[in-house]
Amino acid sequence: MADAPAHARPTGATGVLVLADGTIVWGHGIGAEGVAAGEVCFNTAMTGYQEAMTDPSYAGQIITFTTPHIGNTGANPEDVEATNPHALGCVVAAIPSEAANWRADRTFDAWLKSWGRIGLAGVDTRALTRRIRELGAPNAVIAHLATGDFDVPALLAQAQGWPGLEGMDLAKAVSTTQSYGWDDGLWTLGQGYATHAANPNGPHVVAIDYGMKRNILRNLVAAGARVTVVPATATFDEIMAHKPDGIFLSNGPGDPAATGVYAVPTIQAVLNSGTPLFGICLGHQLLGLAVGASTYKMHQGHRGANHPVKRLSDGRVEITSMNHGFAVDSATLPGNARATHVSLFDGSLAGLELTDRSAFSVQYHPEASPGPQDSHYLFERFVGSLV
C-alpha cells in the first residue's frame, strides 16, 4: 500500500484501488477495463466466488477475497445466484490461473470480462483486510487500464465523492420489475438443478425480491412450496392478490432504513393480516424495522461462509453464510419480539421471532451458495408451518 502523495505507478501495474482516505493499492488488472466506485468489503469464504460476485446483496461493493487462490477453478454457467454479477469488482491475492475444474467453461478472468466487471490481482489482501478491520469498510475506486495510464488524483476525487451505502436504497435497482413463478429445485451432481420441481399442491409462498438469490427460491421449492416472486415495491394489495399462504422477505443490498421507506408499511400490513412471514438478511432487518426496532451500519460487516451463530433455544451452534453490513439493534426490539440467534463473532443479533404472530427472520443466509447447509431446516420449518 502507499499513501496519497505516492502516485508513481510500479512497473507493470495495470490496476489500482484508490481508497477515499488516499491509500493507493497497485496491482495487475484482470477482467474488464474501466473504473467503478463503491464500498470495499472482505469475504472470508474459501470457495464460491461466482456465487458471491452474482449475489445482489453485493451491489455497490468491491469484494476483497481473503482466500489467496481465487479463480483457479474457473467459471461455469451454473454457479451463479442472479442473471448477472452485482458486485462492482473484486480484489484478489494471486493472479488467477487457468481453469482447473471439469465443470469450468471459461477462466475467471474471461468471465469477469464478459460481464464488464473489474478485478485487481497481485494485492496483499491480508494487509487490506486488516485495514478494513481496523478502520471500517472504506469507499474507493477500482480501475483497470491495459496502458496503466491512471489519473490518480481524479480517481481519489471520485472515491471521495461517492456517497456511501448509508441512506442508499439499492433494492429497487436489483429487484425484478415483474412478478413471475419459480419451480426449479436444488442442484445435484450429474443432474444439475431440478426442473419443474415445485409441488403443485404445496402451500403458496410469495417472495418479495429485494435482491433475491436463486438458491433461496430453490430451497423453498425443495421444502414443498409453490413460489411466486414479486418486486420490492409491490403493494400489500398486489401481494395478497396472489392469495399467499406465506410471505418471504429476501436478502438485498443497501441501507435497510432507506428501503424501509416503502417496504416497512407493506410488511406491517402483512403482519396485521396474520399471514405467516419469514425473512433473511435485508428481509430480517426490514422485519425488525417494521416492528419498531432500529438498524445500524456495522464497522466492517459479516461476509463469509464460516460464521458461527448460536441458536438460543437449545444452544446449538450453526456455521452459516453471511453477507451484511447493517444489523438490527437487539436493544431496540419491542416487547413482542425476542432474539433467537446471536453471532458468536461479536454478539450481534442474528435472528428474531415475534411472540404474538407467526413471523421470524435470520440475519444469515440459510440457503448458503456458497457455504454450509446447517440452516436449511429453516425453509422446512417455514413451509411446514403453512400446511
Q: Which residues are catalytic?
A: 281, 365, 367
What is the C-alpha to C-alpha distance for residues 324 and 54, in angstroms, rounded to an integer?
Answer: 15
Distance CA 144, CA 36 (A): 9
226 phi/psi in degrees, rounded to 5: -95, 140
**What's the one-letter identity of residue 284?**
H
What is the rounded distance in angstroms from the CA atom of residue 123 to the CA atom of residue 292? 43
Long-range contacts of the stretch 270-273 (C-beta < 8 A, 24+): 270/236, 270/239, 271/354, 271/357, 271/359, 273/236, 273/240
Q: Tell me phi and psi for residue 337, to 5 degrees.
A: -130, 140
Strand partners, 43: 65
C-alpha cell at 267: 410488511
The H or E element that residue 156 is part of is helix 152-161
Can you tell me which residue has the cell 418471504? 248
Q: Torsion angle of alpha carbons 21, 25, 29, 31, nearest 10°?
A: -50
Q: Which residues pair with 209 in a beta bridge?
A: 231
CA distance 387 to 382: 10
**Alpha carbons 2 and 307: distance in angstroms, whole number:** 32
Identify any residues that bridge with 175 across adjacent strands, giving them in sequence order: none
Give strand ranges (E) for 312-370: 317-328, 337-343, 349-354, 359-362
Please give the sequence-ordered ranges of beta strands (E in DSSP) within 44-138, or none if there are none. Answer: 61-65, 89-91, 118-121
Phi-psi region of 92 (alpha: psi -120 to 50; beta: other; left: phi over 0): beta
Q: Answer positive or negative: Cα dihedral of 257, 261, 266, 269.
A: positive
